Amino acid sequence: MRIVALMKVRKIEGKVGERMTGVSWRPGCPVGLKRLRLIRTSFWNFDPKRDKGSIVVHEDEAEAEEIVRVFRSLYRQKFKIRRMELIERYDGSDHASMNADNT
Protein backbone atom coordinates (compact mmCIF):
# COMPACT_ATOMS: atom_id res chain seq x y z
CA MET A 1 0.00 0.00 0.00
CA ARG A 2 1.38 3.40 -0.98
CA ILE A 3 1.37 6.09 1.70
CA VAL A 4 0.30 9.46 0.29
CA ALA A 5 0.25 12.81 2.07
CA LEU A 6 -2.87 14.87 1.62
CA MET A 7 -1.72 18.23 0.37
CA LYS A 8 -3.36 21.44 -0.78
CA VAL A 9 -1.73 24.60 -2.11
CA ARG A 10 -3.86 27.74 -1.90
CA LYS A 11 -3.57 31.48 -2.32
CA ILE A 12 -3.41 33.55 0.87
CA GLU A 13 -6.78 35.22 1.28
CA GLY A 14 -9.69 35.57 3.66
CA LYS A 15 -9.15 34.73 7.33
CA VAL A 16 -5.59 33.49 6.82
CA GLY A 17 -4.56 36.77 5.20
CA GLU A 18 -6.32 38.74 7.94
CA ARG A 19 -4.51 36.77 10.68
CA MET A 20 -1.14 37.28 8.95
CA THR A 21 -1.57 41.02 8.40
CA GLY A 22 0.19 42.99 11.11
CA VAL A 23 1.82 39.86 12.57
CA SER A 24 3.95 38.00 10.02
CA TRP A 25 3.12 40.20 7.04
CA ARG A 26 2.81 43.99 6.83
CA PRO A 27 2.18 46.43 4.00
CA GLY A 28 5.58 47.23 2.55
CA CYS A 29 6.95 43.69 2.95
CA PRO A 30 9.07 42.76 -0.08
CA VAL A 31 6.61 40.01 -1.06
CA GLY A 32 2.91 40.81 -1.21
CA LEU A 33 0.27 38.45 0.16
CA LYS A 34 -0.84 37.71 -3.41
CA ARG A 35 2.58 36.15 -4.08
CA LEU A 36 2.48 33.83 -1.06
CA ARG A 37 0.90 30.39 -0.91
CA LEU A 38 -0.47 28.35 1.98
CA ILE A 39 0.45 24.68 1.88
CA ARG A 40 -1.65 22.39 4.06
CA THR A 41 -0.18 18.93 4.39
CA SER A 42 -0.32 15.68 6.30
CA PHE A 43 2.67 14.70 8.44
CA TRP A 44 3.60 12.15 11.08
CA ASN A 45 3.89 13.48 14.63
CA PHE A 46 5.88 11.95 17.48
CA ASP A 47 3.01 9.75 18.74
CA PRO A 48 3.47 8.62 15.79
CA LYS A 49 0.11 9.49 14.34
CA ARG A 50 -0.91 11.29 11.21
CA ASP A 51 -1.44 15.00 11.75
CA LYS A 52 -2.09 18.06 9.59
CA GLY A 53 -0.24 21.33 9.42
CA SER A 54 0.36 24.46 7.39
CA ILE A 55 3.31 26.39 6.05
CA VAL A 56 3.54 29.59 3.95
CA VAL A 57 5.90 29.75 0.97
CA HIS A 58 6.57 32.07 -1.96
CA GLU A 59 4.37 31.30 -4.97
CA ASP A 60 7.44 30.40 -7.06
CA GLU A 61 8.30 27.56 -4.65
CA ALA A 62 4.71 26.30 -4.46
CA GLU A 63 4.30 26.39 -8.23
CA ALA A 64 7.67 24.71 -8.78
CA GLU A 65 6.30 21.86 -6.65
CA GLU A 66 9.66 21.43 -4.90
CA ILE A 67 8.21 22.06 -1.44
CA VAL A 68 5.30 19.74 -2.20
CA ARG A 69 7.72 16.98 -3.29
CA VAL A 70 9.78 17.40 -0.13
CA PHE A 71 6.78 17.10 2.20
CA ARG A 72 5.41 14.12 0.26
CA SER A 73 8.79 12.41 0.59
CA LEU A 74 8.98 13.15 4.33
CA TYR A 75 5.48 11.76 4.76
CA ARG A 76 6.22 8.54 2.85
CA GLN A 77 9.31 8.02 5.02
CA LYS A 78 7.21 8.69 8.15
CA PHE A 79 9.65 11.44 9.14
CA LYS A 80 8.42 12.85 12.44
CA ILE A 81 7.51 16.52 12.77
CA ARG A 82 6.50 17.84 16.17
CA ARG A 83 4.18 20.54 14.84
CA MET A 84 3.57 22.60 11.73
CA GLU A 85 1.67 25.74 12.64
CA LEU A 86 1.64 29.19 11.12
CA ILE A 87 3.78 31.66 13.04
CA GLU A 88 0.73 33.76 13.93
CA ARG A 89 0.05 31.18 16.64
CA TYR A 90 3.26 32.48 18.25
CA ASP A 91 2.44 36.16 17.72
CA GLY A 92 4.93 36.27 14.85
CA SER A 93 7.86 35.39 17.13
CA ASP A 94 10.53 33.21 15.49
CA HIS A 95 11.97 32.46 18.92
CA ALA A 96 8.65 31.30 20.39
CA SER A 97 8.03 29.20 17.28
CA MET A 98 11.47 27.58 17.46
CA ASN A 99 11.15 26.97 21.22
CA ALA A 100 7.92 25.07 20.50
CA ASP A 101 9.79 22.96 17.90
CA ASN A 102 7.47 24.30 15.20
CA THR A 103 8.40 23.60 11.59
Residues 55/41, Cβ–Cβ less than 8 Å: yes
For residue range 41-93, what is the model confidence (pLDDT) as tens digits?
Answer: 999 999 989 999 999 999 887 676 788 889 889 999 999 999 999 999 999 99
pTM of the entire predicted model: 0.86
Round to whole Å and give the CA distance between 32 and 26.
Answer: 9
Round to whole Å and give the CA distance between 16 and 18.
Answer: 5
For residue range 10-51, what is the model confidence (pLDDT) as tens digits?
Answer: 999 999 999 999 999 999 999 999 999 999 999 999 998 999
Q: In 10 A of CB 27, how many CB atoms?
A: 8
Burial class of residue 94 (count of CB atoms within 10 Å of its CB; 0-12, 13-18, 19+): exposed
